[in-house]
Structure formats: structure tokens, C-alpha cells
Structure 1
Amino acid sequence: MTEGLDTARLAAWRAYVESSQLLLTQLEEELRDASGLSFADYHVLVLLSEVPGQRLRMGELANRLVFSPSRLTYQISSMQRRGLVTRQACPEDRRGSEAVLTAAGLLALREAAPHHLASVRAHLMDDLDDDEVACLTRVFERLGRRLRAARDASTANASR
């Protein structure tokens, strides 16, 4: 049987789960109200805006978003209908496809960003001191590295 958590760790876990859900719900609601974009829309637009050519292979984008291929296809199709992205064949490999940021998508991101960042500040960042920001960064970067490595190992083993 798996060992339970001590009182302090259980309290930390519960506080994390409950407050992170409240935070993400609040940020999503404010983002939708201000821009009509979902959190997933916004994340796709940010990722595409940050890469050369504003395009990513669908597999790479799914990996960065931690989306299944079918979930990403649904997400990109929805965004494509709204003119935020397009899907194009990969120039170097015609079998694959890429999600490409459109001018309308970039404009939507630029219009949404100030409101979204104000929400992030108001509901999280402005309440933290520099030491707390550094601590959160260390904890979540380490956790992200470990979880990505485990996910990559699991994917590699499944494809064997």
C-alpha cells in the first residue's frame, strides 16, 4: 500500500490543487471575456508567435501543449475556422503538417495579451515577493523537467 502524506505535505497538496484550479478558472474567464480566446487558444498563439516563421509541426506543438494528437487536431481546426491559424504541409516533409500563425491570429494575441497579463499580475504575481517568485520558478522548472523526461521515456518505450 502507498504511504500517505504527512500533514504539512497534504496541506500543501490540497492548497496547490484547489488554488491552481481557482486561478486557472479565473484567468480563463477573464481571457474569454476580454478577447473571446480560450486559454488553449492563447497558449497556441503564444507558442506560434515565439518560433521562427511562426509555424510548428503539429507533433511538436502537441508535445509543447501536452495535448494528444486528436485534441490538437480539434484545437487547430477550431482556431482555423476563426482565421487564427492555418494548417500547411511541411516544406521539408510533405507527409507532416504545420500549424501556422495568421495575421489575424497575431493581432488577436496582441490585443489579448495586455488584458491577460494584467489578470496574471492581479491574481498571482503581484501577491508574490521576489523570493517566492524564485522559489516557484525553481520548483516548477524542476517538476517540468522531471515530468517531461518521464513522458519522453514513456513515449519512447511505447514506440518500441
Structure 2
Amino acid sequence: MTKELKSLSQAQLAAYFAFTEVGALLRPAVEKQLRDAGALSYVQFQLLARLGDTPEGHERMTDLADGIVYSRSGVTYQAQLLEQRGLITRYPSPDDERSTVVTITDAGRGILRAVFPGHIATVHGLLFSPLTEEDAEALARILGRVGEHLRAAPPRSAGRRRAK
């Protein structure tokens, strides 16, 4: 039987407000840095970074959308903009004609190389500079656990497609 909660504890409320405040303060600074350094939106950066982090430099469009928790139509639009800039290519999957594969280009890797130093400096300076390494490890562990919990019943944009 699940206990019905009527309110949050003081610690839970403080953690929730701190979490939302940090996100609200961090994101605009990160977005500005990405625009200034690479003319990238936050979502475009996430797409390129995920592709750049894969061994082969490619991934299915639906997996990208699921990974960055963004609508499939939104990812399609952002991918179209990146493709127009020559930063990615898109082509039908050889394994499933209904799927589209996205591949990062050399130009896309170049944008990542240009953006990453400032991105790392921004994230470190704003998020991690007041923390110890142990704090960062605890934060990663805690937020990882929350992320796993949220993905257990995700919104459609964060859910894995079921095989038919």
C-alpha cells in the first residue's frame, strides 16, 4: 500500500526549490555560450555532443530524441537546421526503412571542438566551482537515481520505442 502524501517535507521543498533555481540560473548562461561560440541552440548542441560521443558518430533519430528528452518532431526540425549548416547528414537506416540515421560530419566535430572549451568553463564555473569532487559525485549519484525513476514512467519524448 502506498502512503498518500499531502505535502513535502521542509528538506524536500528546499531541495526542489534549489534544483529548479539552479536550472533556471544555469541554462541561460549555457545557452548564451553555445550561441556565441557556435551559433547553436541548446538542443542542437545536445544532438551534436551525443553524436560526437558515439564510436561511429551516428545514431537513429528516435534514439537521439529519447536520449535528450525532446519530441521527435522537434529533433527532426533541429536536425534539419544542422544538416543545412553541413554539421550532420541524415539518411534512411539500412536496417529499418522507417528509421532515419543521423551522422555527425567533420564540420560538426569542428563546431564541437570550438564550443567545448567555453562550455566546460561555463559549466565548471557556474555549477561545479563551489563543489568538492565528493559533492559532484554525490550530485551525479542522486540525480542519476532520480533520472532512472523518471524514465520508468517517462513522457512520450523520453520513452524508448517498443519493438513491434
What's the TM-score once normalised by structure 1's chain length?
0.88
* CA distances 1:97-122 after superposition (whole Å, capped 9, x unpaired): 11111111111011111111111111
| Map of 1:4 onto structure 2 | 7
Rounded to whole Å, the distance in 2 between the matches of 1:151 and 1:85 is: 28
Partner of 1:63: 66
After TM superposition, list the pairs within 5 Å mapping 1:2-151 onto structure 2: 3-151=6-154
Distance 2:68 2:150 in 1: 13
Native 8 Å contact 2:37 2:114 kept in 1: no
Find the aligned partners of 1:152 and 1:78 in 2 and give their Cα distance.
Answer: 25
Give the drift of 1:155: 5.4
Give the alignment's Cα RMSD to 1 decimal: 2.5
What fraction of aligned residue pairs are identical, expressed as a percent?
35
State the distance in 2 between where 1:103 and 1:42 align.
Answer: 15
Q: Return the structure number with greater relative CO, CA threshold 8 A, min gap 6.
A: 2
Give 1:50 deviation, angstroms. 1.5
Unaligned runs of 5+ in 2: none
Higher helix share: 1
What TM-score do the two structures reach when normalised by structure 2? Answer: 0.86
> Structure 1 stretches of 5 or more lacking a match?
none
How many residues get paired? 159
